[in-house]
Amino acid sequence: MHIISSQQFGLNVERQFIAGREVSETLDLQRGSQRLQLSHHERSEVRSSSRAEVQLAEARPVLSERQLERLGEGLPQTAPAAGSEEAQSFDFTPDEESLHKLRMLLVVLGRSAEEIDATLGKLAEGLSMPVATATAAGAAEAGSGDFLNYQYSVQEWRGESLSVTASGTVNTADGRTIQYGLSLEMLSMQYSSANVSVRAGAALKDPLVLNLDGGPVRLEGTKRVDFDLDADGKRDSMAGLASGSAFLALDRNGNGRIDDGRELFGALSGDGFADLSTYDEDGNGFIDEGDSIFEQLRLWRPDAQGKGELVDLLTAGVGAIGLARAYGDFDLIAQQQLEGRVRSTGFFLFENGQAGSVQQIDLAI
């Protein structure tokens, strides 16, 4: 192919760039009768875009060297000034403001893990309480109402795109006229996240609760229950469930009572929904009559001595328990004391088609 001329030639390049970071921190601290709650949120983002465009209405064959010399006679023999329009059209050097934003972004992204560790260390030192990795016995040394809950999360993202388009018409030496077009898209996106959670003070255990009266779970601080929730051979004192709610239980040894936290869902693992999902034999996302465990499950409302009545699901009108859940924390306060915390919420279905809530709660012991 020998191109002798071209018309309406256009070449466009567009580039976009984005980078950002979002940080959230919360502190919930109780020491005796005093409570401190703090939260911090920051978000930084840098965006930039650049565009280059070349347009040519018509191009002819290249002139010979001698013809160029003749045309150039009498013209200044200097290159275009740096400030000329031609030079600026291909100048992609970022301005000072863009460079400053980039420097600020690098500073923000420079927060190290050592800084996080130092912050958590100061919090734990000020409380003189064990952190989450301490033994259960050590945690019991703190006052029953004292606790520390620190949550840190960070998300970082970076993306860029490049779009190139070209179009025009060329004429060839053999008499052909060719119209052409080109479109090219390139896209890249990166995302990362990290979470740090530190709890100290009152130990929290996570059993599943079904709410049969249509409302959310409630705890009664004055209604104490003595029950070995963590299955360590010792009875723990915990707040009782208000009317309308019951623990989901499995009498594993068939003795007609719930002996300890091993016969509840989530009390030892911290994830009752995950424990329950292991019994979904048909994989439909529900524990129902298609699963052999369904007829063995019980609803349990313990009395002050940790006993109480066991009721099977069908007698209570429960037809299916969903295994999906949504995460969301909510403190359960009774008599100005933290007695528990909602961690996640799902749903169940009554035999008549109505829905009720299933909640995983942390109980302070």
Q: What is the mean pLDDT of residues 1-22?
A: 86
CB 261 within 8 A of CB 231: yes
Beta strands in the chain (DSSP E): 3-31, 34-59, 147-172, 177-201, 204-205, 208-211, 219-227, 236-241, 245-250, 286-287, 297-301, 309-312, 318-322, 326-334, 337-350, 355-364
CB 256 within 8 A of CB 310: yes
- Distance CA(332)–CA(355), nearest Å, equals 23
CB 230 within 8 A of CB 206: no
Q: Is the whole-model pTM more than 0.75?
A: no
pLDDT at residue 357 tops 90: yes
pLDDT in tens, 316-337: 999 999 999 998 888 888 777 7
pLDDT the model gives residue 114: 52
- Domain segments of the chain: what residues? 3-199, 203-364
pLDDT at residue 12 tops 90: no
pLDDT in tens, 269-313: 888 999 999 999 999 999 999 999 999 999 999 888 878 889 999
pLDDT in tens, 128-162: 444 433 333 333 333 445 667 788 888 999 999 98
